[in-house]
Structure 1
Amino acid sequence: MSPHAPGSTGNPEGGGTPQDARPAAPASPRAIAWARRRAALAAFWRSYRRQRAGVVGLVLLVGIAVMTLAAPLYTDESELRAVNAPGGRLEPPGTEFWLGTDEVGRSILLQVIWGARVSLQVGVVAALLAVVLGTLVGMFAAHFGGTLSWLLMRLTDWFIVLPSLVLAIALVIALGSSRSTIIVAIALTSWAGTARLVRAQTMAIEGRPYLERARALGAGHWHQMSRHVLPNLMPLILASATLQVSSAILSEASLSFLGLGDPSQISWGTLLERAFHAGAISYGAWWYMLPPGAAILVVVLAFTLCGRAMEAVLNPRLRGGQ
C-alpha cells in the first residue's frame, strides 16, 4: 500500500503519526498551582541561602531537633529519676559525666537533652497558637471594620498594655501548673503584637485593585480572606511565628524558674529553678546553672537568626536594601 493511500497512518515526511502532532492536554489548575508553589519555594530557598546568619540559625535548629528527637535512641530516660541516679552529689564535669551531676547525682547533660523536648514543644506550640489567634483577630478587625474592629482593637490594646509575664503567672496560678496550662497562658499573653501587624497589612492588601475586582464579581467574605488576603499575609505570619518561638521559650523558662512549671517534667527553666534552690550558686556548681542557660541562649539565638533571615527574604523592602 502506498504511504499516501487513504487508509495509511504514515506521514509523508516520515515524522510519525498524526497523533504525534496533536497538542498536549492542558495542565489542570491544581497542577499549575503546585508548580507555582514549588517554584516559589525554590526561589525562597535560593534567597535564604544568601543569608549567612539565617543558614547558621537553621543548622543549629536542625542539629538541636535531631539530637532532641533521637534522645531515646542514645540515652536512658530512667536515669532521670532520682532513685536511678548513677552519680554522686554535685560532681564536677569529668569523663563519666561531661557536664557534671545535680544534687541527687543525675547527669546534667542528660537533663539538658530531655529538657529540650519540653522547652521546644512548649515554645513552638504556644507560638503557633499565638500567631493563629493574632492572625484571626487582625484579619477580622481589618476586613469587617466598624464596631467589631473597634472592640477587637481595644481588646488588643488591653493585652499589649498588660505585663505579659504577670498575666501569665496569674493564669498559671488560677488554672494549675501543667504543660498545657503554660502553653495556653503564653499564647493568650503574646498574640496582641501579631494582631496589630496583621491588621495593618490586611488593610493595605484590601486596598489593592484585585480585591476590588473580586468584590465586584460577588466574592464573599470567606473567599476574599482565604483566597486573596491570607496568601499575601503568609510571609508576615511565617516571620512573626519564627520570632514568636523565642519569646515563648523565654516565657516558659521564666515561669518554670519561678516554680510554676510542670513538676513532673524537666525543662530548661526547671533545671535553673532546681539549681537555685539546691544552692548551686553558693556551692560554686557552675556546671549546674550554665548548661541550661546556654541552651536557652543558643535556641533563642537560632530562632531569632532564622526569623530575621526570613523577614529579609520575604520583605521586598529589606531584600532590596541589601
Structure 2
Amino acid sequence: MTAPDGPAPSSGRGATPSSGRGAAPDPEPPSTAHGAAPAPAAPWTPWTRRRRSAARFWRRYRAHRAGLCGLAVLLVIALVALAAPLLVGDGARSVTDAPGTALEEPSGRFPLGTDQFGRPVLGLLVWGARVSLTVGLLAAALSVAIGTLIGVAAGHFGGWFATVVMRITDWFLVMPTLVLAIVLATVLSRSVWTVILAIGVTVWPTTARLVRAQTIAVESRPYIERARALGGGHLHVMRRHVLPNVLPLVLSQTTLCVSSAILTEATLAFLGLGDPTVVSWGGMLQDAREAGAVSSGHWWYLAPPGIAVAVVALAFTLCGRALESVLNPRLGVGR
C-alpha cells in the first residue's frame, strides 16, 4: 500500500517548523525597528582615558573649598600680572617720569599711595606680581626637578650610591637654606636668573627624600620584578614604571615649593640681593625700609607688598594641601 503524498516529516534540528499558525518572524534589533541605525561605540583611546581621569580629578578637587579658594586667588593674580601693561601701563615703573609726588597718602587718584619716587604703589604691586610669580614657579620647578632626579636614582639603585647621595642630601638639609641662597646670590651676578638658581639648588633635599621613599615603595611591587624579568633595563623601569607612580607626589610637592620660593625671593630682595632693575614684592619691601616707611608711619608703602606675598604663599599652600588629599585618598576629603 502506497503512502499518500504529503510533506516529508521534519526530523532535523535546523529544519523550519511548520504549523497551522505559521512560523514566528525573526525579532528585529530595537534600533532597526525604529528606523535608526545603531550608534557606533566610542573608541577607547588614551585621550578618552585622560579626559575621564581629568574629570574625575576635578570632581574630587571641587570637594575642597579651601583649595578652590586658593586656586581662584591664584588665577586672579595671574590674570592681573599678565594684563599689567593694559591695567597700569609701563610708566608706573618709571622713576624719571613719576605721576605723583613722594610718599603721598592713599587717595582717589592713587588708591595705595606713592613711593619715595612718586610712583603709584598699586602699579608697582601689579608689576611686581610678574617677577614674584615667575621666580616662584621657575625656582620651584628647578628644585623639584633636581629632587625628583636624585630621589628616583637613589631609590632605584640603592647600595653605596644611595648612601653617598643621601649623605649629601642630609648635609643640604642641615645647612640653612637661606644662608646658602644668600651665598650664591652674593657670589653670582645680581639678576632674576641668579635668584632662581640660588633658590632652586638649595631647596631640593626635602623633595629628594620624599621621592626616594616613594620610589622604594614602588620598587617593591610585583610588576617591577616582572618588568625586570622580561628584560627591562634601569632606564625603562625608572621611566615607564617608577616615574609615573611618583608624579602625583611631585605635583603636590611643587605647589608647596612655590610658596616657599616666593618667600625666599622676597627675603633675598629685601636684603638687597635681588635685581635692582626689576620691580618685585620683595624689592618693594626693601625700598620701603630704605625710605624709612616703618619709622615714618608710611604704612601704605610697606603693607601692600607684604600682604601680597602672604596671600600668594597661602593660596599655593591651600592648593598643595588639596592636591595631596585628592592624589592620596587616605588623607581624607574636605579640609
TM-score normalized with structure 1 length: 0.90
Describe the superposition over 1:87-108 as per-residue Cα deviations: whole angstroms up to 9, x where unpaired: 0110010000000001110000
Partner of 1:4: none
Partner of 2:123: 110
Describe the superposition over 1:18-45 as per-residue Cα deviations: whole angstroms up to 9, x where unpaired: xx89x97995xxx632222211111110
**CA offset at residue 13 of structure 1?**
6.5
1 CA distance for matches of 2:41 and 2:252? 39
Partner of 2:67: 54
2 CA distance for matches of 1:39 and 1:25? 16
1 CA distance for matches of 2:181 and 2:334? 38
Decide which structure has the larger Cα Rg and report it.
2
Match of 2:90 among 54, 73, 77: 77
Describe the superposition over 1:121-172 as per-residue Cα deviations: whole angstroms up to 9, x where unpaired: 0000000000010000000001011221111111111110100000100001
Partner of 1:5: none
**CA offset at residue 225 of structure 1?**
1.1
2 CA distance for matches of 1:218 and 1:274? 61
Partner of 1:300: 313
Unaligned runs of 5+ in 2: 1-25
Partner of 1:197: 210
Q: Residue type of the partner of 2:241?
A: H
Change beyond 3 A, Cα 1:56–1:321: closer
Identity rate, percent:
56
**In the alignment, is the contact (CA less than 8 A) between 2:151 and 2:208 conserved in 1?**
yes
- Give the helix-richer structure, 1 or 2: 1
TM-score normalized with structure 2 length: 0.87
Partner of 1:8: none
Q: Residue type of the partner of 1:154?
A: R
Partner of 1:225: 238
Describe the superposition over 1:167-208 as per-residue Cα deviations: whole angstroms up to 9, x where unpaired: 100001111211001000000110000000000000000101
Q: Residue type of the partner of 1:283?
A: S
Asked whether 1:258 is paired with 2:271, we answer yes
Asked whether 1:87 is paired with 2:103, we answer no
Match of 2:219 among 185, 194, 206: 206
Partner of 1:65: 78
**In the alignment, is the contact (CA less than 8 A) between 2:57 and 2:326 conserved in 1?**
yes
1 CA distance for matches of 2:57 and 2:47? 15
1 CA distance for matches of 2:92 and 2:46? 51
Match of 1:173 among 171, 186, 191: 186
Partner of 2:286: 273
Report the more deviating stretch, 269-278 or 69-78. Answer: 69-78
2 CA distance for matches of 1:209 and 1:257? 52
**CA offset at residue 233 of structure 1?**
0.7
Q: How many residues align?
A: 305
Q: Residue type of the partner of 2:128?
A: G
Asked whether 1:162 is paired with 2:175, we answer yes
2 CA distance for matches of 1:24 and 1:47? 31
2 CA distance for matches of 1:172 and 1:321? 41
Unaligned runs of 5+ in 1: 1-10
Partner of 2:143: 130
**CA offset at residue 73 of structure 1?**
1.5
Secondary structure of the 1:282 match is helix
**CA offset at residue 320 of structure 1?**
6.8
Q: Residue type of the partner of 2:269?
A: S
1 CA distance for matches of 2:125 and 2:212? 39
Match of 1:188 among 198, 201, 217: 201
Partner of 2:12: none
2 CA distance for matches of 1:149 and 1:46? 39
